[in-house]
Amino acid sequence: MPGVTLIEQNQGPYYTLGAPERADITDAAPGTPLLLTGYVLDDQCNPVAGATLDFWQADGNGSYDNNGYVLRGIQTTDENGAYALTTVIPGQYPGRTEHVHVKVTAPGGPTYTTQLYFPESTANGGDRFYVPELDVTITSYDGSKMTAHFDMVLPV
C-alpha cells in the first residue's frame, strides 16, 4: 500500500472538541458530495487497526459550523486500517484553498494533525499552508460527485 507520511499542520481556529462518532458528516451541508477513502498505516506501511480519525471542514460555500457538528465527525479504522468518510467538497474562503482537517491517533500513540488538499485547485498556489504531498488522489469525478483516496502513514 503506498502512502504519504503525514506532515504535521496547524489545526486552525475552527476545531471543535467532542464531535460525534460517524462516517457521514454531511448533515445536508451545501456542496458537491465527496467520498474520501483510505488507510492509516504505520511507518512500515502496515495497517493500523483502531486508529481514531477526527475530521472537520468547511461546507461547499467555505463556511464552518461553529455552533454544532455539521461537517465534523470521529471514526475508527477497521481491522485493515481502512476509513471511509462521506462529506462534501469543501469550499474556498479568503486565503485558503479547499481542504479537510484531520487528527489521527493510533491506539496508544500520539495525535497528528494535518490537512488534506485537492490537486489542481485554483487556490492552492495562494494558500500558505498548502502542501502538495497532502493532495488526495481523485479516483472519479463527474461534476456531481467525487470519490478520492488518501493513505495516511504515521510518522516514526
Answer yes or no: is pLDDT of 54 > 80. Answer: yes
Q: Which domain holds residue 72?
A: 4-136
Give the CATH number of the domain where residue 47 resides. Answer: 2.60.130.10
Q: Is 123 contained in some domain? A: yes
Q: Is 65 contained in some domain? A: yes
Task: Calculate the CA dihedral of residues 40, 45, 49, 55 and round it to 10 degrees.
Answer: -10
For residues 148-155, average pLDDT: 96
pLDDT score recorded for residue 2: 62
pLDDT tens for 80-127 read 999 999 999 999 999 999 999 999 999 999 999 999 999 989 999 999
The percentage of the chain sitting over the pLDDT mark of 70, rounded to a whole number, equals 99
For residues 60-71, average pLDDT: 97
Contacts of 130 (CB under 8 A, 6+ apart): 97, 99, 117, 124
Number of structural domains the chain divides into: 1
Q: Is 156 contained in some domain? A: no
Instruction: Please name which of 117, 154, 115, 108 lies closest in space to residue 138, comparing C-alpha atoms.
Output: 117
Whole-prediction pTM value? Answer: 0.96
pLDDT score recorded for residue 3: 77
